[in-house]
Amino acid sequence: MEKSSVDYDKVDAFFGTNVSQILFDHLYVVLDSVSYAQLKQNAFFNDMYGSIDKGLPNFEAIDAKTSSCYIRGHSHYIEILGPNNRYQEPIGKSGIGFSLHNKGEHFHLGVQPKLAQNKTPYLSISETIDLPIENTEITWFKAFYSPNISTNLHTWYAFYNPIFLDSLYHVKHHTYSREAFLKKLYKKECLFKDIESISMHCTKADFYRIAQEMRHLGCDLIKNEGKTLTIASGDITIEIRLSETIKNSHITQIQCKLNTIDSSVIQLGNLTITNYGMKSIWDFNTFNKTIF
């Protein structure tokens, strides 16, 4: 096997540089029943860690019946799904979403990602997401992803519609930004600010797919160490480790930035969140051992 399955130097020699701008938007994970129940019941997590809500369109407070919740930061957010979520996603499933922007181009339904190489299967499938705002269906975003039906770790890349923000907040937006979407939800007095990095263990198919998606979008390779790639993916880094023994790819750790210094350890069933200084580590290792 080659060092990383992706020869970045060779790829760069043939690829162009006029690519879509990429930024990290959010991720989701599906927890087991014990971890999710403890997350909803943990007073410190709900009151102090981050601004938490049920999601669109009204961003209501979570309650005992909530099957999915959202932790809002300044630029990023985390979507936590319970085992009986409305999307019927299985426990252990996860996904990472990025936003795209083409320089000088406003959102429209025919928008396409600009990749470093044309005629590629990567980001070749698209889906337009509409949501009802005050009884009117409004397009929120157009997402692109690569063919991989069997993956347990989705990645998608979306162009967002500023008109959606207009309808949601009744204020005119010339462009869509993550900060504008989160402005009324983010609470600076809470600990959680944003995500810095995501680490994952991947099957060979997912390892190669995600690395190629990043390369096609012009992301920089920071490190190539054996079976692990560290890539600058917009405003975060992702660490992709190839495992030839696992059946399901999964997120192993999320590293976050905090607004203030903290040293708390939050145990939510099989998920451990450890704060130290201005950082917060979400450790999924026990969760993954239990699920997989």
Q: Are strands 77-81 and 21-30 parallel, antiparallel or unpaired?
A: parallel
Tens of pLDDT, residues 39-57: 999 999 999 999 999 999 9
Rounded to an integer, what is the distance from CA 87 to the centroid of its chain?
16
At residue 235, the pLDDT reads 96
Evaluate if residue 11 carries a pLDDT over 70: no
Tens of pLDDT, residues 221-279: 999 998 999 999 999 999 999 999 999 999 999 999 999 999 999 999 999 999 999 99
At residue 228, the pLDDT reads 97
How wide is the angle at C-alpha 131 spanned by C-alphas 127 and 134, nearest 5°? 160
At residue 133, the pLDDT reads 93
Whether the model pTM is above 0.75? yes
Tens of pLDDT, residues 117-145: 888 999 999 999 999 999 899 999 999 99
Tens of pLDDT, residues 77-123: 999 999 999 999 999 999 999 999 999 999 999 999 999 988 899 99
Evaluate if residue 17 carries a pLDDT over 80: no
β-strand partners of 155: 96
Residue 14 — very low, low, confident or very high, per pLDDT cuts 50/70/90? Answer: very low
At residue 9, the pLDDT reads 57
Q: Considering only CA atoms, give the Rg of the chain.
A: 19
User: What DSSP designation does 46 have?
Assistant: I
**Which residues, at least 6 apart from 217, have a Cβ–Cβ distance to it below 8 Å?**
19, 20, 22, 100, 113, 115, 116, 157
β-strand partners of 77: 26, 72
In angstroms, the CA 133 to CA 131 distance is 6
